[in-house]
Amino acid sequence: MQSSGHRFRDVEHHPLLAENDSYDSSSSEADMAERVWFIRDGCGMVCAIMTWLLVVYADFVVTFVMLLPSKDFWYSVINGVLFNCLAVLALSSHLRTMLTDPGAVPKGNATKEYMDNLQLKPGEVIYKCPKCCSIKPERAHHCSICKRCIRKMDHHCPWVNNCVGEKNQRFFVLFTMYIALISAHALILCGFQFFSCVRGQWTECSDFSPPVTVILMIFLCLEGFLFLTFTAVMFGTQIHSICNDETEIERLKSEKPTWERRLRWEGMKSVFGGQPSLLWINPFAGFRIRRLLLRAKKGGPEFSV
């Protein structure tokens, strides 16, 4: 067995923290478990708010412009319930993606004490991130916006104001799926509404004037088409990445896998958890309501409790 000093020379790509800098890995992990994750990035917060406003706009047009004025009661009820349920699931998935720790590596764990506890084998090499001063696990990458190394980081998405990583990829997949579904539903309803209004010569097809109705529906069609295209592509690439056990960063960098790949259903099970069930498409699964006292963490990108 090598001595600690020899082991440090093998792994010291960058200077480690001073020996007198204390780091308690157990307390750090516990603190992270109790932390409310929220990235304080201006661009990301604006994009997240825009996402919610666009979904609310779509819900307003579908409900008040197309469904409520309809004379077909069951048509309005069924489509109204379906669209609003999908919208709630989409926004819930968005919140879970945004407020879930994506798999951040504890900051500042690159200490001599922590290295000794790793019980490294002779000649084994590990890497230290010089930006957040942490030991980088396999497949972790540093995010300059989150200011952390993220396990199995796929990419940083400003629309959810968070990284997509090991712990929140499932919610991101659900978010893209539900946004694609409500976008497709809105486009179908717009098609029926235009047909109904033209056939009725724009009389009594909406409580709004014909020009206002046309403008609102055109904007909804543009929004629906753009969102459907974007989220359907993202959903497809995410499922492909999961089934191939390869993140987007790894694919772009053409990194050769040094890990044992979990392909297809094994990959899906590792991300969504357990055997296929309705829980896979439920963004509320595993959610526990807790009383949280938010306070901003000084010098950090996330809130802590």
Q: Name the β-bridge partners of 150.
A: 104, 141
| 3 state SS for the chain | CCCHHHHHHHHCCCCCCCCCCCCCHHHHHHHHHCCCCCCCCHHHHHHHHHHHHHHHHHHHHHHHHHHCCCCCHHHHHHHHHHHHHHHHHHHHHHHHHHHCCCCECCCCCCCHHHHHHCCCCCCCCCEEECCCCEEECCCEEEECCCCEEEECCCEEECCCCEEECCCCHHHHHHHHHHHHHHHHHHHHHHHHHHHHHHHCCCCCCCCCCHHHHHHHHHHHHHHHHHHHHHHHHHHHHHHHHHHHCCCHHHHHCCCCCCCCCCCCHHHHHHHHCCCCCHHHHCCCCCCCCCCCCCEECCCCCCEEC
Question: How far apart are the C-alpha atoms of 5 and 267, rounded to whole Å?
Answer: 39
Output the pLDDT for position 2.
Answer: 39
The two structure tokens encoding residue 141: 């990458």
**Residue 94 near residue 51 (C-beta atoms within 8 A):** yes
| Confidence at residue 298, expressed as pLDDT on a 0 to 100 scale | 43
Q: At CB < 8 A and 24+ separation, what contacts does 4-8 make? A: 4/112, 4/115, 4/116, 7/115, 7/120, 8/112, 8/115
Quote the pLDDT of residue 269: 85
User: What is the reported pLDDT for 129?
Assistant: 82
Ranges in the chain, pLDDT < 70: 1-35, 110, 123-124, 257-259, 288-305
- pLDDT value for 175: 97
Kindly report whether the global pTM for this prediction surpasses the value 0.85: no
Q: Which of 129, 132, 133, 157 is catalytic?
A: 157
Contact yes or no for 75/153 (Cβ under 8 A): no
pLDDT at 288: 67
Instruction: Give the pLDDT of residue 46.
Output: 96
pLDDT of the residue at 26: 45
| Known catalytic residue at 157 | yes
pLDDT of residue 189: 95
User: Degrees (nearest 5) of the Cα angle 143, 144, 145?
Assistant: 90
Nearest of 159, 165, 164 to residue 44 by alpha carbon: 159
